[in-house]
Chains A and B, each alone.
Chain A
Amino acid sequence: MISLEDFLENYSNVGMNPYIVLNDNAPLPMETTQEDIQILNIKNPLVKKLLKGFKLQKNIFKEYTGYLILLAENSQSSVQTCFLTSKSGFEQNARNVIVVEENATLDIFTGCLSSNHVKGNIHNAITDIFVGKNAKLTFNMIHSWGETSKVFPKTVVHVEEGGTFISNYVVWEKVKEIVSNPKITLEKNAKGVMQSFIYAHNGSKLDIGGGIYLEGKESSGEIISNIVSEGGEYKTVSEIVGRGDESKGHIECNAVLLNQFGSVKTVPTLKAENSSVQMSHEASIGRISREEIEYLQSKGLDKKKAQDLIVKGFVNNSLKKMPESIQQKIEEMLSNGSMF
């Protein structure tokens, strides 16, 4: 696990502004109200007014923190957010809403972490995301919760006509448990992509799936999961339902198991409710191929080096479509030897 100081130093230098840190259940320390972007404490009375007419998930939290990020139409912005827990056994509840209005483009870079000494904390989240007509939201998340943390986010995304929602989700550090199952609804010509790279450490229990509902004509959705299991227990239950004419869906799961302790389970569901939809699924789960190891051994690398290089290749390949900032971060972690 990394410290807050390291996190701020390493993650906050991606040139993004504004920058949000939400600690435990304390409110947002500073609100932003600009012509193009508003970032408000979720409890700010103005939030209710701004979200009038939006269909939101029920807030079940009594004590909670959270934000509303609202990007005005035709604007472009990047926001960096960080959820932090600093007390052992603490249950953080986050209630977040993101609205990207018509023709606007927003990149969110989120890191979540707990302080070094924190044990047994829980992070719950209820997040509603609205992507307007022809708008685009790229939501990047790198988890850095502690090895005793449990994380239960509930995310619902709605993408209007021609809009795009991309989720890049990376779990790299140790975590006790994650259950995440975001639901994305796509209108006409809208696009939804959920791609994840998960390193399942020994002792981790990860249930990371999702659903994409292709409601609109020619909408398209992809759920791509890449997993390295080093003893962790991983499950992905993903579902794509095609309802709109000529909508397209694809589910993919690639996993390597580095030892005999871990498990990887993929449960993909493709449901076509319209005869013009096109859907596909592919999965490849197993140990590192012997053929590849032997090939690299025949290049003079010993077995361990060969395996490491293949896993590194798998990681590189998994991150290929993710933003460069994520790729660089993982590349640094790999070259610092923080893995394997």
Chain B
Amino acid sequence: MITIKNLTVKAEGRKILDSINLEIKDREKVVLFGPNGCGKSTLFRVIMGMNEYKVAKGDVLVNGKSILSRSIDERVKLGLGYVAQKSVSIKGVTLEGLIDQYDLDYDKIKNIIDTLDIDSFLHRDINYNLSGGETKRLELFTLSLMDGIYTYLLDELDSGVDLENIGRISNYLKSISKDRSLVITTHTGAILQALKMDTAYVMLEGKIVCTRDPIETWECIKSGGYDNCVNCEKRK
């Protein structure tokens, strides 16, 4: 379980996350909505411990223990898996070279290689010259290389991805999500058609302003954009 308590993060004197309180229960499927720049990606990156952000106030806990002093890789070992909105490519490091870093039985991952159809880019440099869909498949695959990833934080997994790939990615997520929590963000909503989510949150200007049923929220955003949320009467 991830608990976010009163989390405030500042950049250049401005609050980019403002008193966020959020709980992601075991096996819960959460979708985070919000316009570009509202802080969704920042929230993910702060949870993962990416260095560019300094926490001004509040805490992030995994199973009741604060993780703020832990390094990124230590947070991964606590069960957090992350796929960033923008992928990072590393010249000269192939996906196969990355796989070699784990003590793995190749037969064990063969199945996932087939399911996510990544065989053709095993020998290629990580995330070099891959399409949007290929990158996201690669990223999901890398999460399967690590043991004990129970929470998947997936930032705009469906952006720049064609329908065929959305289907493939959703099917894969369905197959692994039974025992896991998912936290996703989406602008297109495409992934919501295939994956049933439990809870939706809406973020505006670094704050969580709404908690509702996912489909209902998405319909509302679709009909009038985030203006509907800004002017919403139900807003806390």
* A, B bound: yes
A residues at B contact (CB < 8 Å): 290-292, 294-303, 305-306, 309-310, 312-318, 320
Question: Interface residue tally of chain B, by bracket?
Answer: 20 to 34
Name the B residues within 8 Å of A314 (CB-CB).
Answer: 91-92
Contacts A309-B101, A312-B97; is A300 near B90 (CB within 8 Å)? no
Distance of A292 Cα from B89 Cα, bound (Å): 8
Interface mask (B85-123 → A, CB under 8 Å = 1, otherwise 0): 000101111000110011000000000000000000000
Name the A residues within 8 Å of B91 (CB-CB).
Answer: 313-314, 317
Contacts A291-B88, A294-B51, A302-B71; is A310 near B76 (CB within 8 Å)? no
Q: How far apart are B122's CB and chain A's nearest CB, in angstroms?
A: 15
Name the B residues within 8 Å of A291 (CB-CB).
Answer: 88
Distance of A301 Cα from B76 Cα, bound (Å): 9
**Which chain A residue lies CB-closest to B76?**
A300
B residues at A contact (CB < 8 Å): 48, 50-51, 71-73, 76-77, 82, 84, 88, 90-93, 97-98, 101-102, 125, 142, 145-146
Q: Contacts A290-B51, A303-B73, A305-B101 given; 5 further ones with Cβ under 8 A?
A: A297-B71, A298-B84, A299-B98, A313-B91, A314-B92
Distance of A292 Cα from B72 Cα, bound (Å): 13
A299→B48 contact, CB < 8 A: no
Distance of A290 Cα from B88 Cα, bound (Å): 11
The 4 closest A-B pairs by CB, nearest first: A313-B92, A317-B92, A313-B93, A297-B72
**Which chain A residue lies CB-closest to B80?**
A298
Q: How far apart are A228's CB and chain B's nearest CB, in angstroms?
A: 12
**Which chain B residue lies CB-closest to A295?**
B88
Query: Which of A298, A300, A309 is the one whose CB lies under 8 Å from B97?
Result: A309
Contacts A298-B48, A300-B146, A305-B101; is A313 near B77 (CB within 8 Å)? no
B76→A313 contact, CB < 8 A: no
Query: Which of B50, B51, B71, B142 is the one whose CB lies under 8 Å from A299?
Result: B142
Name the A residues within 8 Å of B82 (CB-CB).
Answer: 298
A313→B88 contact, CB < 8 A: no
